Amino acid sequence: MTTPEDPTSPAAAADDAAPRLRGSDVAWMFAVLIVGGITLLVLALGVVTLAGGDARDLTARPLALVAATLVVQTALMAGGVGLVAVRIRGLPWAAVGVRGFRRHWLVTAPVVALALVVVVDFVDRLAGTPIRETEIQMLAPAGFSWGALVLMVAVGGIAAPIGEEMLFRGALYTWLRNKWGVWPAVVGSSVVFGAFHLNPYWAAVTAAVGLALAWVYEKSGSVWPAVIVHGVYNSVGITLIYLTEL
């Protein structure tokens, strides 16, 4: 996974005659996520309602349900990519960025992630947005506990970035890059990435983070350094959310 001979861009290894992702492939991947996500949301809200809670109240959602939801979402994203690109189309995993990377990214990626944490925190404070309260309600509904922190870092900081990077960078970015070039792919994949986070402020911040993730993917030629950046960024953010509950 760290072979220095690997190409430095997602499209560099593919010759013109090799099969590539198609727009319809990416559309089916997102269809799997959307249909599965809607079904998952309905089931989750149903569980809360049957348990006697208010489905509109984020704090009424048990931590185990939140964690399970994130795990299933991750499975839908990664599974959709694997099903459509590898199983149905017969493409190699390298076609969606699952390939080796140069060792320096083991250091560079965490540094990029920490820089993103600092920049986003600065913008958050400057904007004076109350978004942190919503984050606490969603990710730490029961308040602080070490067990809850470890669980949420595991699913939100480790598992979730794998699925998101495979879908938004490995699949969407790669297809956009092959079709229109680097910068349309960087911007386009980041805007879509942000839009899937729904809340307008979250969407803007996440789209900006997506720019950095797309840049890392482009420069490394592999989805894994982007996963590391995303994972460290999420893990630090979740940890800070829990520390505010101490």
Alpha-carbon distance of 212 to 110, in angstroms, equals 12
Q: In this predicted structure, what is the pLDDT of residue 15?
A: 46
Question: What average pLDDT does the segment 77-90 reach?
Answer: 96
Q: In this predicted structure, what is the pLDDT of residue 2?
A: 45
Q: Is the Cβ–Cβ distance between 140 and 41 less than 8 Å?
A: no
Most confident option among 7-11, 118-122, 161-165, 197-201: 161-165
- DSSP-derived letter for residue 145 is -
Contacts of 207 (CB under 8 A, 6+ apart): 190, 191, 193, 194, 195
Q: In this predicted structure, what is the pLDDT of residue 129?
A: 65
Q: Is the Cβ–Cβ distance between 102 and 225 less than 8 Å?
A: no
The mean of the pLDDT values for the chain is: 85
Q: What are phi and psi of 70, to 5 degrees?
A: -65, -40
Burial class for 9, CB neighbours closer than 10 Å (0-12, 13-18, 19+): middle
* pLDDT confidence band for 167 (50 / 70 / 90): very high
* pLDDT confidence band for 60 (50 / 70 / 90): low
pLDDT higher than 50, residue 181: yes
pTM of the model: 0.88
pLDDT one-digit tens code per residue, 94-133: 999 999 999 999 999 999 999 999 998 888 777 776 566 6
Higher pLDDT, 44 or 71: 71
Q: In this predicted structure, what is the pLDDT of residue 242?
A: 85
Rounded-to-10 torsion of CA 161, 163, 167, 169:
30
Q: Is the Cβ–Cβ distance between 208 and 121 less than 8 Å?
A: no
Alpha-carbon distance of 14 to 180, in angstroms, equals 15
Q: In this predicted structure, what is the pLDDT of residue 56?
A: 61
Q: In this predicted structure, what is the pLDDT of residue 4?
A: 41
Structure tokens at 118: 């600092």
**AA letter at 19:** P
Which of these ranges, 11-15, 89-93, 182-186, has the smallest mean pLDDT? 11-15
